[in-house]
Amino acid sequence: MAIKTSDLNAKLFGKADKRRATTPQEAQKAAKEQAQIIELAVAGEELVAFELMRIPANQVEKETVVFAENAREQSFLNEHALSDVLSTLKERGQQYPAVGRRRADGKIEVLDGSRRRMSCILANKEFLVYVAENINAEHAKFLSDVANAHKPLSLYEKGKEMQSKLDSGEAEDQKALAKMFQCSEALVSGALKAAALPLELLQAYPNVADLGRPTIVKLHKQFSELDTSKQAKLIEKCHDQGRLVWQRSEAQGVARITKDVSETLEEWIEELAPRKRSAVNKIDLVKGRVSYTRKGNNLALNMKKIDDKTMKEILQFVESKLQ
């Protein structure tokens, strides 16, 4: 999919109303020409000079870090989650530089463009970033937040933010959160559930941003029904074999892989939980002779001391019932 550099651009310099040079057009022009130095008004306050730096592909991981308060969960950034950026990056290189600030230790802290950064690492490409020397924490957070408007955060990431608002007391309850984040209550409930799930489990999926509420809710229900040791085992299963779950799937297309992973996880959970319940559910229908166990939709009958005639009748009944 030939994305969307135009979209990205519009959002970057138009809608989001940030990085305003004197006019959005000028900033756009500057970015296109990849000017060496541009001046931007950060958060509508003073002008800051940003210098364009080129980080060689093999230095990106070493020389740059992602702003710690960035809401985007870095470990979700894989080739599927970044497919939109990667396609154009591979063809034509990085179209629009990221934005960062210089840290005291000399490293560049990326405020806007963490997805582009990771894409460059994955694709082994040069990373372009506008760097400013003096950006305070508040402005850094501003730039980072506005930047995240490009690509909506996943349920998990939203959930993490909501949870922290809840913890800090900025939001009273889920209703308040819904209002604050401009979304439905149902979504708040789902997002919080997503955030409650362990990272490792979500990393089983090719693209966490694609996971919808129903998927999360279902997963959360299944997962929370396991006891802690079973949960740990499940997580272990997710990253033994050295590969993540989605990397083991043969299916084509992200949607298919996602479905595949869901089914795999479901199977594992089923395996892990032959559960105490089946023991509890083992019911003596006729003492000493007949018992049955119920597992999901399955029924296992166990009968003793059955003569041929009775067996025939029972089998016939089952056959007629289920055909």
Distance, CA of 49 to CA of 30 (rounded, Å): 13
Kindly write out the interface string for residues 284-313 of this chain, putting x where it contacts DNA by CB under 7 A and - elsewhere. ------------------------------
Distance, CA of 108 to CA of 240 (rounded, Å): 34
For residue 130, give every residue at least 6 positions away whose Cβ sits within 8 Å of its Cβ, in sequence order, or none: 38, 50, 51, 52, 53, 97, 98, 99, 100
Q: Which residue in 43, 183, 272, 290 binds DNA (CB under 7 A)?
A: 183
**Residue 140: Cβ-neighbour burial (10 angstroms; 0-12, 13-18, 19+):** buried
Applying CB under 7 A, the span of 20-28, 133-141, 182-190, 293-301 interacting with DNA comes to 182-190
Distance, CA of 192 to CA of 217 (rounded, Å): 10
- 225 is a site residue for DNA (CB under 7 A): no
- 187 is a site residue for DNA (CB under 7 A): yes
CB of 223 to DNA, least distance (A): 12
- 82 is a site residue for DNA (CB under 7 A): no
Kindly write out the interface string for residues 131-170 of this chain, putting x where it contacts DNA by CB under 7 A and - elsewhere. ------------------------x---------------
Q: Which residue in 215, 219, 257, 269 binds DNA (CB under 7 A)?
A: 215
Quick one: which of 315, 318, 273 has its CA closest to 296?
273
What type of residue is 81?
A
List interacting residues with DNA (CB under 7 A).
155, 173-175, 183-187, 189, 192, 210-215, 217, 221, 252-253, 255-256, 258-259
